[in-house]
Amino acid sequence: MAHLTSSRLMLASLIALGALVLASIVALAVGSTSVPLSDVVDTFMGDGRGVSDIIVRQIRLPRVALAALVGGSLAAAGVIFQALLRNPLADPYVLGISGGGGLGAVLAVSVGGSISVGTEVLVPIWAFVGSLGAIALVYTIARSSGSVNMHTMLLAGVVTNAICSALIMGLTLTLSFEKFQTVLFWLMGHLSSRLSWGSFLHLGAYVGVGLVMLGAVARDLNLMSLGDRQAAHLGTNVERTKAIAFIGASLITGAAVSAAGLVGFVGLMVPHGVRLLVGPDHRILLPISVVVGAAFLILTDATARWVIAPTELPVGVITALIGGPSFIWMLRQRDRGGA
């Protein structure tokens, strides 16, 4: 892998930001009703009018913003879990963290809340608790022999996800038919919640706190890639770093799950691709993965709205169709590398 120079860093940053802008423009223009690019530009120049202005401002722009927030959050969580486990196959979905967050959110709904953070600000807290509980369970199982076994952790994640899914299905039986339909669609991953900008800011606050926590330990994560003992010799408080990273990653995962349901594989694919572009330095890998993750989910959601318009696919279906083969490819590459 080539050394990360300032010119390569600048190029990577420009590519990531360019992809985000391009994906946003495409997402604002496409859907069951196409909006000409000139009308999209006019909207942001203050010259928008008529139906196109309403579609862009009131329907698609909030959705693009939510996709960016969720995609960036899941990508950041993937970076952190891969760093902590030193395993590029780790992500919130595979490890069962998303399932735990989903269980927490559905619990909130079952006791009278709403599946949308637009009307129930506490849902992200329930989802966060579920995410933290899932990662605690997975970590405890993997550490049962005294040290964390990476293969055991992945298997524990699969089992935890299965348990959470079973509990979610059981809880849905207690819901009304209307809420059951909403929850079922949400479990497949979707971005169709009509959030007010105030609710979006509430959600952004959870994500912002989590990202600040993760950014604060990015340098220590670089040292921990050498091994816990070596990192400790270099002055890193290993257990404190792990605690901050686990909590921060669980917080942003819980917030993302509460808003968009179980959107899988974003945290697996995006960090892996960005790492090939900029290298393993988490001070760079983390922020660029956030931007690329945002662009990826914006574009994926646009595809979900467009591919069988006017019917809309859950965005989780598209990410799974892309992520499943990607996971198999990464697993085969890892096995060949270890052969």
pLDDT by residue (tens digit) across 29-65?
A: 988 788 888 888 877 777 666 788 888 888 899 999 9
- Is 79 a residue whose pLDDT tops 90? yes
Peptide bond into 271 cis (omega under 30): no
- 202-240 residue pLDDT tens: 889 989 999 999 999 999 999 998 888 888 898 889 888
Whether 150 and 86 have beta carbons less than 8 Å apart is answered as yes
Domain boundaries, the chain: 6-338
Of 184 and 338, the one with more pLDDT: 184
Ranked by mean pLDDT, the top range of 104-113, 124-133, 168-177, 298-307 is 298-307
| Mean pLDDT (whole number) for 96-113 | 80
Mean pLDDT, the chain, rounded, equals: 83
Looking up tokens 């990273």 gives 245
Of 45 and 201, the one with more pLDDT: 201
Q: Classify domain 6-338 at the CATH class level.
A: mainly alpha
- 127-170 residue pLDDT tens: 778 888 888 888 788 776 666 666 787 788 888 989 998 998 88
**How high is the pLDDT of residue 113?**
53
State how far Cα 89 lies from the chain centre. 15
Reported confidence tier of residue 1, pLDDT bands at 50, 70, 90:
very low
What is the 3 state secondary structure string of 140-182? HHHCCCCCCCHHHHHHHHHHHHHHHHHHHHHHHCCCCHHHHHH
| Mean pLDDT (whole number) for 110-137 | 68
CA distances 273 to 16, 18, 218, 330, Å, are 12, 16, 18, 11
